[in-house]
Structure 1
Amino acid sequence: MNAFLKSVAMAAVLAAASVGAAHAAAGVDPDWPCIQRKQPNLSLGQIWTGPVPDEAVTALAASPPIKAFAERLEQRRLPMADAEAEIAEFGKTADNETLTALMVAVTHGIDGRRQALMGGIGRYGHKQVDLAAQIEARRAKMAGMEAAASPDFDAIDAEEKALDWDSRIFTDRQQSLTYVCEMPVILEQRAFALGRAIAGQLKN
């Protein structure tokens, strides 16, 4: 790759890093690499319109049967239509306390998944920042090598290959990051959908 094309490629990579930094600066957490605004926690009050749980309901939410059912409902591989059907069946015999306990368990489980995922996204974003800095350092080193009075063309070729490799990794990771950043939102949407389904079974 000639120097002009290399500079264009590096400009694109660094522009992507700058956009990520600008998106992060617009959110609550400056280290957050996603364009989606960071919502650290998913609370029951955000997604539940039913009764406020008391200590007895909270204890019931931790019971093995309720916890196991909640974990099943949380799984994205279970289609929402099937989840809604199972909730409707469960609601035939469940009272309001049990339904509220189920929602507490669902919220707790999905929020735990979200927090673990968001922690991983944050670490992923830091790696991208570090890699962007490494790319810029390689670019500057290569420019210095090319400007030398007696350029070492073998060393320049080696540095160019390393630069190409780092750039390719950065771009691939950036594309993956775009997808991964959608995951917390998908989990939130499932929590809201489950909340509506469970609330629909409450008795007057």
Structure 2
Amino acid sequence: MKFLPHLLAIVFTGVSPLYAAGSHDPDWPCVQRRVDTLSAAVMWPYQPESQAAKEKPAAATAELAQLLALRRISLEEAEEALDEAANGTPALDRDDYNAIFADVFERLNQRRSLLMTGITRYARNQARLADEIDTMRNQIATMTAAESPDFDQIDQIEADLDWRERVFHDRALSLTYACETPVLLEKRLYAIAQMLAARIND
């Protein structure tokens, strides 16, 4: 499928530390390479200290992980929530931090995957709309070049074309914003991993 140039308006500076190698997807409209699944090992080098930790109930950490995964919670607020939990009773240990990271990673990675699927579907619809716009432009050019142009019909097609172009432009702006969202989720996940790891190292 083809895409008009301003579909690629997003500017991505630098390479996210969360990206692994991925193949080029012709239907992916964003500048950054599409990687469907992130690698937890890139961000989190720690493992549970014991096998029993894998059987530890998640209730003690699930609520905190859910809070950290919310985008409406700023990183400063996340830091404060972690400080409060770390200073609570009982104190958090390495296995707790492992559990918190695993939970946050699963939540944000799943959210990111769903978002990327939606971006691809959205971009395909944009590509179809771009094809329709090209077809209508060619139709207008052909009709205008005829010996006896039907100007009333040409005016109707031009009005429809103008509406479609406005829709295309508005959707392209939304797509540009959508392309930034997976990157924001990755940055949040990486920042939270750093917060958790810093407490293990303390």
TM (normalized to structure 2)?
0.82
Does the Cα contact within 8 Å between 2:7 and 2:175 map onto a contact in 1? no
Could you tell me how far 1:73 is from its partner in structure 2? 0.6
Does the Cα contact within 8 Å between 2:8 and 2:29 map onto a contact in 1? no
Letter in structure 2 aligned against 1:81: E
Counterpart for residue 85 of structure 1: 80
Counterpart for residue 162 of structure 1: 160
Could you tell me how far 1:78 is from its partner in structure 2? 0.8
Pair 53,175 (structure 1): closer, same or farther in 2 beyond 3 Å? farther
For residues 18 and 101 of structure 1, the distance between their equivalents in structure 2, rounded to whole angstroms, comes to 38
Which runs of structure 1 show a deviation greater than 6 angstroms over 4 or more consecutive aligned residues? none
For structure 1, the residue ranges without an aligned partner over 5 or more in a row are: 1-12, 21-25
Does the Cα contact within 8 Å between 1:14 and 1:132 map onto a contact in 2? yes
Does the Cα contact within 8 Å between 2:44 and 2:193 map onto a contact in 1? yes
Q: Is 1:31 the equivalent of 2:43?
A: no
Letter in structure 2 aligned against 1:83: A
Alignment partner of 2:6 out of 13, 16, 38: 16
For structure 2, the residue ranges without an aligned partner over 5 or more in a row are: 11-21
Q: Is 1:75 the equivalent of 2:70?
A: yes
Counterpart for residue 100 of structure 1: 98
For residues 184 and 53 of structure 1, the distance between their equivalents in structure 2, rounded to whole angstroms, comes to 32
- Which protein is richer in helix relative to its size? 1
Letter in structure 2 aligned against 1:168: R
Alignment partner of 1:190 out of 188, 191, 200: 188
Letter in structure 1 aligned against 2:33: R
Structure 2 residue matching 1:117: 3-state secondary structure: helix
**Identity, % of aligned pairs?**
37
1:58-73 matches, within 5 Å, as 58-60=54-56, 63-73=58-68
Does the Cα contact within 8 Å between 2:48 and 2:94 map onto a contact in 1? no
For residues 152 and 54 of structure 1, the distance between their equivalents in structure 2, rounded to whole angstroms, comes to 80
Structure 2 residue matching 1:202: 3-state secondary structure: helix
Counterpart for residue 42 of structure 2: 46
Aligned length: 186
For residues 18 and 82 of structure 1, the distance between their equivalents in structure 2, rounded to whole angstroms, comes to 34
For residues 105 and 24 of structure 2, the distance between their equivalents in structure 1, rounded to whole angstroms, comes to 22
**Which digits, 9 at most, give the CA deviation of each residue in 1:56-110, with x for residues without a partner?**
54554x7344223211111111111110121122223111111101100010000
